[in-house]
Amino acid sequence: MEISQYDGIVCVSGDGLLLEVLNGLLARSDWKMAMKMRLGVIPAGTGNGMAKSVLHYGNESYNVENATFAIIRGNTHSLDVATVVQGQNVHHSVLSLAWGIVADVDIESERFRGLGELRNDIYSLIRITRLRKYRGTLAYVPAPGYEGSLDHISREDSDLLSSSIPDMNIEKGQQWGGYSGSMSVPEKSEWRIMNGNFILVWLMNVPWATQTVLAAPKAELSDGFLDLLIIKECSRRELLKSFLKLSDGTHVKSKIMDYLKVRAVCLAPGGQVNGGVEGGYISLDGEVLARGAGAYGDGSKDPMCYGSSIYITVEKGLATVFCA
């Protein structure tokens, strides 16, 4: 389409269609011009986290009418865009990336889609009862003020970073013509490493994951950082108590939860601990990005491969959204 002939794009949908529109705009050779296009969303999906986050920013109640009037008024706000890279594959996001229990619930509850958002509550109870843990390695670059304790970077970890942090950002832009992510690659000394078993790794770009889940209460629409939530070891009871607090954001105060802001993330997902399935899922804005062998659904058309490292960066204010 000829970008100059349009004022904006409005998605009457959930978060998945907005994800597709964003990736379409960023695939264009004139992506810099295309990203001046204002984006709006009127909630008509299951989760509707972006619509809730935009209305929350303007102190407006969440409903279809307010989302519509926000677009009519024409006020806008810049929005950070995350980029996920695996080899030559590039995908963009404005909402979230999840691995572990949140991704499991998001993807496997699709079979109960007719129940609406209730499907997430029901399947969360199932997954807490039949709790899964996944082996993996997580590396991240903390935002200023979140440096905390430095986990030792071994030679093996250094090799992982070297192989996972792509130099192809510039190459991709030259070969393909679309946007390929931030050109700023952190130094190895800035990275923190976590190895072992994980119950949850959850990256949020905005505060609300759905209209009822305040996943990242400190997240902002355009601060240039991603909010990272991590759960490594806990009992089923502790996990349930934490999940019951998702509606008001107080789960981040739980002793089982690590919560911080980051500039970049590298994730090498592995298989289930003591499980019969090779791996789980990585979800991006509620859609499957990658799934392991034996996981639910046909993974032949998934954008990325499960098991290989993925690298996530964020670009401050790259997109523009209609805002209350």
Q: Which residues are catalytic?
A: 15
Residue 159, class by beta-carbon neighbours within 10 Å (0-12 exposed, 13-18 middle, 19+ buried)?
exposed
Distance between CA atoms of residues 103 and 106, nearest Å: 5
- DSSP letters, 244-310, are TTTTTTGGGGSTT-EEEEEEEEEEEEEEETT-SSS--EEEETTEEEEE-TT-SS--TT-SS-SSS-E
In the beta sheet, which residues pair with residue 4?
none
Which residue stretches of 147-244 are H helix?
A: 155-164, 168-176, 236-243
Tokens of 184: 């700023």
Pairing of strands 310-322, 38-43: parallel
Distance between CA atoms of residues 29 and 14, nearest Å: 27
Q: What angle do CA 59, 223, 66 make, to 5 degrees?
A: 25
Please measure the distance between the N-terminal and C-terminal CA atoms of the chain and give it in whole angstroms. Answer: 27
Residues shown for the chain:
324
Q: What angle do CA 97, 322, 83 make, to 5 degrees?
A: 25
